[in-house]
Amino acid sequence: MSSRLLSFVGRTGRRRLMSTAIKLTTVEVNDKTGIATLTMCRPPVNGQNLELLLDIKSSINEIKNNNSRGLIITSASPKVFSAGLDILEMYKPDQQRLRAVWTELQNVWCDLYGISVPTAAAINGHAPAGGCLLATACEYRVMVPNCIIGLNETQLGIIAPKWLVSGYLNILPKRVAERALTQGRLFTTDEALQEGLIDEIANSKEEAVDKCVAFIGTFAKVNPVARALTKQQFRADNLRQFHKEREQDVDDFLSLVNRPEVQKGIGIYLEGLKKKANKQ
Ligand SMILES: CC/C=C\C/C=C\C/C=C\C/C=C/C(=O)SCCNC(=O)CCNC(=O)[C@H](O)C(C)(C)COP(=O)(O)OP(=O)(O)OC[C@H]1O[C@@H](n2cnc3c(N)ncnc32)[C@H](O)[C@@H]1OP(=O)(O)O
């Protein structure tokens, strides 16, 4: 939950500031299907800052505890599923906050990757880097046309840690994953379908959600405990490895981001994003 200062003029005519709690995710459970939809709502691009990550984590936990039959993750933004980590969190960072950001990204990944109910991503817009991470943590992906998805870290001069790559390796053949990661390739929707990075294309967000619901529906007649244990068997090795390395991984991330050449690169990248946005 993030707090925002609202400014208003009170009865005395003085401007007052009021702090309100704003949730950056919503959870809606469909009464008929029992499926929960987790929607990210941090305009304009669902940049994963500390508050969004905390809210995603708490929404996943809410879904874990409310007996939902499945989880669909999507975005309230019309063009972007998630632009990945909020780069502002990494530029000239406050060290404690940066540590918390990476720890929460780890938490979101392991909670989403490890949840026992069926999961699907309705990718209703672009999903680079951390956006792709969320989608690949799920069991099924449906994406709208003319968007991009992938792990582009090497393009930014950084490397994606092993746990982040493991989602990719669950889906893509090793040869395709290695080439895509070393190139920092962003796949178009059509390319992603061709390579198997996504499972289906849908013409709208609504259709994407419907297709995710249909996927989750395929488990209706499967014993949920047997399903959950089977999913766990497939994912346990990656999770075990992640838990062994997670503390070292935070230290590695911090030392990488704090390197002067990486800070310089992030500054240039941010400038490029702003210039591009101003041209549009
Ligand atoms: C740099 C990282 C350094 C060290 C990390 C080390 C290891 C970590 C390894 C892996 C973990 C994951 C990392 C990440 O997720 S890094 C983030 C990577 N994300 C990107 O490269 C995406 C950048 N964004 C885009 O390509 C486009 O915005 C996008 C295709 C998503 C949408 O395009 P659209 O045309 O719809 O919007 P824009 O006009 O480009 O953007 C609008 C607005 O939003 C700002 N913006 C965009 N993306 C981000 C972001 N990730 N963080 C912060 N802000 C972002 C953009 O600047 C515009 O702002 P404004 O000018 O103020 O309107």
Average pLDDT score over residue span 36-53: 98
| Residue 157 clears pLDDT 80, i.e. is over it | no
Catalytic hit among 85, 133, 151, 164:
85
| Structure tokens, 118 | 């069926």
The pTM score is 0.93
Q: The tokens 């989608």 sit on which residue?
A: 135
Mean pLDDT of all residues belonging to the chain: 92
Average pLDDT score over residue span 35-59: 98
| Residue 20 clears pLDDT 80, i.e. is over it | no
| Structure tokens, 103 | 């720890």
Nearest C-alpha neighbor of 150 from the set 84, 96, 203: 84
What pLDDT, on the 0 to 100 scale, is given for residue 128? Answer: 97
**pLDDT grade for 277, boundaries at 50, 70 and 90:** confident
| Residue 5 clears pLDDT 70, i.e. is over it | no
**pLDDT grade for 13, boundaries at 50, 70 and 90:** very low
What pLDDT, on the 0 to 100 scale, is given for residue 21? Answer: 77
User: Ligand 1, atom 9: nearest CA belongs to which residue?
Assistant: 160
Separation of CA 90 and ligand 1 centre (Å)? 11
Separation of CA 83 and ligand 1 centre (Å)? 5
> Residue 10 catalytic?
no
Separation of CA 198 and ligand 1 centre (Å)? 21
Q: Which residues line ligand 1 (CB under 6 A)?
A: 44-45, 47, 79-80, 83-88, 90, 126, 128-130, 152-153, 156, 158, 160, 164, 253, 256-257, 266, 273-274, 276-277, 280
Q: Could you report the per-residue pLDDT of 103-143, keeping only the tens digit for each?
A: 999 999 999 999 999 999 999 999 999 999 999 999 999 99
Q: Which residues on neighbouring strands pair with residue 3, listed in sequence order?
A: 21
Helices of type H across the chain: 50-65, 95-114, 130-137, 162-171, 174-183, 189-195, 205-217, 224-257, 260-279
Phi, psi for 31 (deg, rounded to 5): -60, -35
Distance CA 214, CA 30 (A): 13
| Residue 158 clears pLDDT 90, i.e. is over it | no
> Residue 85 catalytic?
yes
> Residue 153 catalytic?
yes
Average pLDDT score over residue span 150-175: 90
**pLDDT grade for 1, boundaries at 50, 70 and 90:** low
Domains and CATH numbers, the chain: 2-7+21-279 (3.90.226.10)
Separation of CA 224 and ligand 1 centre (Å)? 38
Among 160-164, 250-254, 275-279, name the most confident range. Answer: 250-254
Distance CA 231, CA 44 (A): 34
Going by the DSSP 8-state scheme, the letter that residue 126 receives in this structure is: B
Phi, psi for 98 (deg, rounded to 5): -60, -40
What pLDDT, on the 0 to 100 scale, is given for residue 6? Answer: 47
Relative orientation angle of helices 260-279 and 224-257, to the nearest 10 degrees = 110
**Percentage, residues of the chain above pLDDT 70:** 93
